[in-house]
């Protein structure tokens, strides 16, 4: 197999990673530069296979050899280091504070509804305003942290929290640690020179429970829900701490792009996949109100089986021209709506019981629950007195 060869001069790092490399001191500067670029390309490829496609192509050991070789080359040749190198995923030096940055375009919030009648009213409004039969794109509403990510010439430039919609906090170094976020776009020649996209960072349910277990064992207040956990991690000043947690990201909109936006949202999402930007697998394009209701009902039924939290669906007018026609309110677009799931009742799953040690030595058993909304409050733990 490819993992059994010593590296020839033009080795295929992607599909046949070598088991050994030549000594670095035997490389000239030009050879080192070329090898660094080929290593970065291969690691980016395998990151996409692992984190986005969930289909790893090589063993962990083979991947680790590629990564270590890149680290060694960047150490030997500091001028070959790059802010978009895969080695930056392990974290950078701590920051003193998070800087405020202005967004490329306003990041609006969505109007959220619970009643089916409001969905019918929304559909009727869109038809009246546009004068035709609208086509919608349906997506899950992830319960995470909204972010802006900017690419320039196909390379990661900056990332920020939503903040107040106009400005947010620069969390670039923390975002670089997320394996599913590409630091360099795939097929960059097809991407705009400037591209600002919107996404959602979230933490899976299992990782959330693990984090809360650690916090309780350390006598720290547990996070109320996965969204708060993701927000807390993303705003840390030590990106090496952020790298410890398996954050994920999904992208779902173009905020701004040189050359203008595509004609439809569906086209943009297809380009996201081409560029290596992860999108949700639960997507539907439809003009049918009945189909919207079925999509909502199916995801609500399946939500507890999903590895991450969702709290509804998002309904978006597909056509960009129709979006312009419909316009926006002060804080939300008129061409999109969030249809939330009904609040969970008092039934949930007891996932684990741990013992919390108080300062005076008192032991208190604590139940870690699958997060559940009760009367508008998210409950993820309960002390067990009896």
Active site positions, annotated: 141
Q: Could you tell me the CA-to-CA distances from 360 to 180, 218, 252, 357, 383 in Å, in that order? A: 44, 14, 49, 8, 17
Do the beta carbons of residue 103 and residue 167 sit within 8 Å? yes
Q: Could you tell me which of 89, 66, 333 has the C-alpha nearest to residue 198?
A: 333
Helix axes 289-302, 116-130, angle to 10 degrees: 140
Nearest 5°: CA angle at 223, between 221 and 224? 115
Q: Could you tell me the CA-to-CA distances from 20 to 3, 7, 40, 68, 226 in Å, in that order? A: 9, 6, 17, 11, 42
* Cα radius of gyration (the chain): 23
Do the beta carbons of residue 287 and residue 135 sit within 8 Å? yes
**Helix H segments across 131-253?**
172-175, 205-217, 226-234, 239-242
Do the beta carbons of residue 139 and residue 282 sit within 8 Å? yes
Beta-carbon count within 10 A of 60 CB? 9
Distance CA 207, CA 209 (A): 5
Do the beta carbons of residue 58 and residue 13 sit within 8 Å? no
Do the beta carbons of residue 311 and residue 340 sit within 8 Å? yes
């Amino acid at each position: 197999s490819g993992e059994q060869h010593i590296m020839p001069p033009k080795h295929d790092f992607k599909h046949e990673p070598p088991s050994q490399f030549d000594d670095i001191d035997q490389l000239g500067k030009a050879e080192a530069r070329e090898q660094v670029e080929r290593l970065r390309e291969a690691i980016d490829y395998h990151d996409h296979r692992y984190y986005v496609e969930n289909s790893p192509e090589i063993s962990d050991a083979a991947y680790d050899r590629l990564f270590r070789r890149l680290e060694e080359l960047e150490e030997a040749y500091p001028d070959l280091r790059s802010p978009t190198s895969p080695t930056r995923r392990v974290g950078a030096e701590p920051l003193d504070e998070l800087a405020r940055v202005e967004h490329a375009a306003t990041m609006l919030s969505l109007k959220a509804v619970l009643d089916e009648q409001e969905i019918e009213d929304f559909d009727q409004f869109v038809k009246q305003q546009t004068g035709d039969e609208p086509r919608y794109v349906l997506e899950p509403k992830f319960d995470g942290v909204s972010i802006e990510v900017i690419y320039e010439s196909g390379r990661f430039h900056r990332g920020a929290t939503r903040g107040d919609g106009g400005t947010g906090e620069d969390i670039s170094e923390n975002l670089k640690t997320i394996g599913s976020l590409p630091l360099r776009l795939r097929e960059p020649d097809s991407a705009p020179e400037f591209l600002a996209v919107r996404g959602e960072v979230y933490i899976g349910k299992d990782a959330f429970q693990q984090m809360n277990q650690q916090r309780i064992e350390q006598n720290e207040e547990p996070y109320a829900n996965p969204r708060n956990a993701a927000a807390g991690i993303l705003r840390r000043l030590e990106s090496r701490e952020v790298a410890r947690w398996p954050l994920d990201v999904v992208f779902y909109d173009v905020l701004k792009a040189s050359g203008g936006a595509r004609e439809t949202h569906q086209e943009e999402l297809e380009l996201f996949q081409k560029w290596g930007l992860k999108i949700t697998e639960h997507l539907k394009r439809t003009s049918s109100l009945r189909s919207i209701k079925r999509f909502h009902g199916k995801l609500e039924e399946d939500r507890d089986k999903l590895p991450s939290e969702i709290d509804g669906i998002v309904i978006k007018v597909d056509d960009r021209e129709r979006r312009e026609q419909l316009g926006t309110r002060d804080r939300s677009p008129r061409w999109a709506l969030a249809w939330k799931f009904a609040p969970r009742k008092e039934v949930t799953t007891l996932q684990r019981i741990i013992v919390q040690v108080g300062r005076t030595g008192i032991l208190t058993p604590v139940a870690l629950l699958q997060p559940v909304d009760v009367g508008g409050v998210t409950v993820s733990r309960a002390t067990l007195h009896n």
